[in-house]
Amino acid sequence: MTSDSMNLTPEQRAALDTVEKAATTPDVEQPWAALGMKADEYEAVRKILERRPTGSELAMYSVMWSEHCSYKSSKVHLRQFGEKTTEAMKEHLLVGIGENAGVVDIGQGWAVTFKVESHNHPSYVEPYQGAATGVGGIVRDIISMGARPVAVMDPLRFGALDHPDTHRVLPGIVAGVGGYGNCLGLPNIGGEVSFDPCYQGNPLVNALAVGTLRHEDIHLANARGNGNLVVLFGARTGGDGIGGASILASDTFTEGGPTKRPAVQVGDPFAEKVLIECCLDLFKADVVQGIQDLGAAGLSCAFSELASNGDGGMLVHLDRAPLRDSTLAPEEILMSESQERMMAVVTPEDLPGFLEITNRWDVEATVMGEVTDTGRLVVLWHGETIVDVPPRSVAHDGPVYERPYSRPEWLDARQADTPDRLPKPQTDDELKSLVVTMAGTPNLASRAWITNQYDKYVQGNTAQAMPDDAGVLRVDEESGLGVAIATDCNQRFAALDPYTGAQLALAEAYRNVGVAGGKPLAVTDCLNFGSPEDPAVMWQFAEAVRGLADGCQTLGIPVTGGNVSLYNQTGSTAIHPTPVVGVLGVLDDVARRTPSGWKSAGAQLFLLGTTRAEFAGSEWAWSQHEHLGGLPPQVDLAAEQALATVMVQASSDELVVAAHDLSDGGLAQALVESSLRHGVGATVSLEAACERDGVDAFTLLFAESAARAVVAVKPEAAQQFTEACQAQGVPVVALGSTGGETVAVEGRFELTLDELRVAHERTLPEALNA
Amino acid sequence: MRIGVVTFPGSLDDRDALRAVRIAGGTPVSLWHGDEDIKGVDAVVLPGGFSYGDYLRCGAIARFAPVMSEIIRLAGPPTQTSPGLPVLGICNGFQVLCESHLLPGALIRNEQQQFICRDQKLRIERTDTVWTNRYGKDDEIVVPLKNGEGGFAADQATLDMLEGEGRVVARYLDVNPNGSFRDIAGISNATGTVVGLMPHPEHATEAGYGPEAQAANSTGDGTDGLAFFTSALQGVLSA
Amino acid sequence: MGRVVIDVMPKPEILDPQGKAVVGALARLGFKEFAGARQGKRFELEVEGEVDQAVLDRARQAAETLLSNPVIEDVVAVRAASDQE
Amino acid sequence: MGRVVIDVMPKPEILDPQGKAVVGALARLGFKEFAGARQGKRFELEVEGEVDQAVLDRARQAAETLLSNPVIEDVVAVRAASDQE
Ligand SMILES: Nc1ncnc2c1ncn2[C@@H]1O[C@H](COP(=O)(O)OP(=O)(O)O)[C@@H](O)[C@H]1O
Ligand SMILES: [Mg+2]
pLDDT, one tens digit per residue, over A38-52 is 999 999 999 999 999
Length of chain A: 770
- A11: pLDDT strictly greater than 90: no
Instruction: Give residue D71's pLDDT.
Output: 83
User: How distant is the alpha carbon of residue A719 from its chain centre?
Assistant: 40
Q: Per mean pLDDT, which range of A386-400, A634-648, A756-770, B200-214 is the poorest?
A: A386-400
Q: Does ligand 1 lie within 6 Å of residue A761's CB atom?
A: no
Residues of chain C with pLDDT under 50: none
Who has greater pLDDT, A192 or B112? A192
Instruction: Give residue C28's pLDDT.
Output: 87
**Residues of A assigned a catalytic role:** 68, 119
CA of C44 to the centre of ligand 2 (A): 50
Q: Is D21 on the interface with B (CB under 8 A)?
A: yes
In a domain, C24, yes or no: yes
- A764: pLDDT strictly greater than 50: yes
Where in the sequence is the domain holding A245, given as residue range(s)?
1-65+220-399
Closest CA to B58 of B3, B12, B98, B30: B98
What is the DSSP secondary-structure string of A226-271?
TT-EEEEEESPB-STTTTIIIIIHH-PBBTTB-SS-PPPP---HHH
CA of A67 to the centre of ligand 2 (A): 33
The CA-based angle A629-A631-A634, given to 5 degrees, is 145
Instruction: Give residue B49's pLDDT.
Output: 96
Average pLDDT over residues A456-484: 96
- Residue A97 DSSP label: B
Closest CA to B133 of B41, B236, B210: B236
3-state secondary structure of D76: strand
Residues C71, B110: C-beta atoms closer than 8 Å: no
* B111 min Cα distance to partner chain A (Å): 13
Name the domain count of chain C: 1
Average pLDDT over residues A160-175: 96
Instruction: Give residue C84's pLDDT.
Output: 65
In a domain, A407, yes or no: no
What's chain B's average pLDDT? 94
Q: Does ligand 1 lie within 6 Å of residue A704's CB atom?
A: no
Instruction: Give residue D31's pLDDT.
Output: 94
- A538: pLDDT strictly greater than 70: yes
Instruction: Give residue A335's pLDDT.
Output: 87
Instruction: Give residue A244's pLDDT.
Output: 42
3-state secondary structure of A640: helix
Average pLDDT over residues A150-155: 98
Residue A393 in marked binding region: no
In sequence order, the 6+-apart residues with CB closer than 8 A to the CB of A186 are A139, A149, A150, A151, A152, A209, A458, A459
Do residues A368 and A432 share a domain? no
Q: Is C57 on the interface with D (CB under 8 A)?
A: no
Confidence of residue A36 (pLDDT cuts 50, 70, 90): confident
Between the alpha carbon of residue B239 and those of residues B77, B124, B189, B192, the distances in Å are: 15, 21, 15, 11
User: How distant is the alpha carbon of residue A711 from its chain centre?
Assistant: 29
Do residues A629 and A733 share a domain? yes
Do residues A393 and A439 share a domain? no
Where does A286-350 have alpha helices with state H? 298-308, 330-335
A210, A466, A578, A760: residue to mutate for ligand 1 pocket, most atoms within 8 A of CB: A466
Instruction: For A647-768, list the strands marked E by DSSP.
Output: 656-661, 682-684, 709-713, 732-738, 742-745, 749-752
Longest Cα–Cα distance of chain C, Å, equals: 46
Contact between residue B201 and residue B143 where contact means Cβ atoms under 8 Å apart:
yes
Identity at A77, one-letter amino acid code: H
Confidence of residue A1 (pLDDT cuts 50, 70, 90): very low
Where in the sequence is the domain holding C19, given as residue range(s)?
2-80
Identity at A471, one-letter amino acid code: G
Which of B16, B146, B175, B221 has the highest number of chain A CBs within 10 A, making it the mutation to test binding with A?
Answer: B146
Instruction: Give residue A261's pLDDT.
Output: 30
Q: What is the pLDDT of residues B101-144, one digit of tens each?
A: 999 999 999 998 999 999 999 999 999 999 999 999 999 999 99
In a domain, A722, yes or no: yes
Model confidence, pTM? 0.93
Residues C43, D37: C-beta atoms closer than 8 Å: yes
Residues A404-409: contacts with CB within 8 Å, 24+ apart? A404/A535, A404/A538, A405/A535, A405/A536, A405/A538, A405/A539, A405/A541, A405/A542, A406/A535, A406/A536, A406/A539, A407/A536, A407/A539, A408/A536, A408/A539, A408/A540
In a domain, A36, yes or no: yes
For A380-407, letters b (16+ CB in 10 Å) and e give bbbebbbbbbbbbbbbebbeebebebee
ipTM of the complex: 0.92
Do residues A371 and A446 share a domain? no
Instruction: Give residue D85's pLDDT.
Output: 66
Average pLDDT over residues B177-184: 96
Confidence of residue B236 (pLDDT cuts 50, 70, 90): low
Q: What is the pLDDT of residues A285-343, one digit of tens each?
A: 999 999 999 988 889 898 888 888 877 799 999 999 999 888 888 888 888 888 999 99
Closest CA to B109 of B153, B145, B158: B153
Average pLDDT over residues B11-19: 97
Residue A525 in marked binding region: yes
Q: Is B67 on the interface with D (CB under 8 A)?
A: no
What's chain A's average pLDDT? 92
Confidence of residue A177 (pLDDT cuts 50, 70, 90): very high
Find, in chain B, the residue whose alpha carbon is nearest to that of A463. Answer: B209
Q: Does ligand 1 lie within 6 Å of residue A469's CB atom?
A: yes
Do residues A447 and A307 share a domain? no
What part of B 4-63 touches A (C-beta under 8 Å)? 9-10, 12-13, 15-16, 19, 34, 48-50, 52-55
In a domain, D85, yes or no: no
- The rounded distance, in Å, linking the Cα atoms of C26 and C17 is 14
Sign of CA dihedral A66, A68, A70, A76: positive
Instruction: Give residue A243's pLDDT.
Output: 56
Name the domain count of chain A: 2
* A731 min Cα distance to partner chain D (Å): 56
- The rounded distance, in Å, linking the Cα atoms of A17 and A7 is 16
Instruction: Give residue A224's pLDDT.
Output: 80
3-state secondary structure of A383: coil
In a domain, C85, yes or no: no
Residues D45, C26: C-beta atoms closer than 8 Å: yes
* C43 min Cα distance to partner chain B (Å): 10
Contact between residue B16 and residue B202 where contact means Cβ atoms under 8 Å apart:
yes
Residues C67, B109: C-beta atoms closer than 8 Å: no
* Cis peptide preceding A197, ω within 30 of 0: no
- Residue D65 DSSP label: I
Instruction: Give residue A395's pLDDT.
Output: 87
- D84: pLDDT strictly greater than 80: no
Confidence of residue A534 (pLDDT cuts 50, 70, 90): very high
Closest CA to A468 of A185, A659, A603: A659
Q: How many CB atoms lie within 10 A of CB A484?
A: 34
Q: What is the pLDDT of residues A614-634, one digit of tens each?
A: 999 999 999 999 999 999 999
Between the alpha carbon of residue A698 and those of residues A435, A445, A659, the distances in Å are: 10, 20, 22
φ, ψ (nearest 5 deg) of residue B212:
-90, -25
Q: What is the pLDDT of residues A489-504, one digit of tens each?
A: 999 999 999 999 999 9
Q: Which CATH architecture has domain B2-238?
A: 3-Layer(aba) Sandwich (3.40)
In a domain, C14, yes or no: yes
Q: What is the pLDDT of residues A405-422, one digit of tens each?
A: 999 999 999 999 999 999
Q: How many CB atoms lie within 10 A of CB A125?
A: 17
Average pLDDT over residues A253-282: 71
**Residues of B assigned a catalytic role:** 91, 200, 202
Q: Is D12 on the interface with B (CB under 8 A)?
A: no
3-state secondary structure of A189: strand
Burial of A9 (0-12, 13-18, 19+ CB in 10 A): exposed
Q: Is D72 on the interface with A (CB under 8 A)?
A: yes
Instruction: Give residue A132's pLDDT.
Output: 96
Confidence of residue A701 (pLDDT cuts 50, 70, 90): very high
Contact between residue A94 and residue A215 where contact means Cβ atoms under 8 Å apart:
yes
Instruction: Give residue A471's pLDDT.
Output: 97
In a domain, A522, yes or no: no
Q: What is the pLDDT of residues D2-45, one digit of tens each?
A: 999 999 999 887 888 899 899 999 999 999 999 999 999 999 99
CATH number at residue C27: 3.30.1280.10
Q: Is C42 on the interface with D (CB under 8 A)?
A: yes
CATH number at residue A605: 3.90.650.10
Residues of chain A found within 8 Å of residue B201, distances taken between Cβ atoms: none
In sequence order, the 6+-apart residues with CB closer than 8 A to the CB of A268 are A235, A339, A340, B53, D15, D17, D20
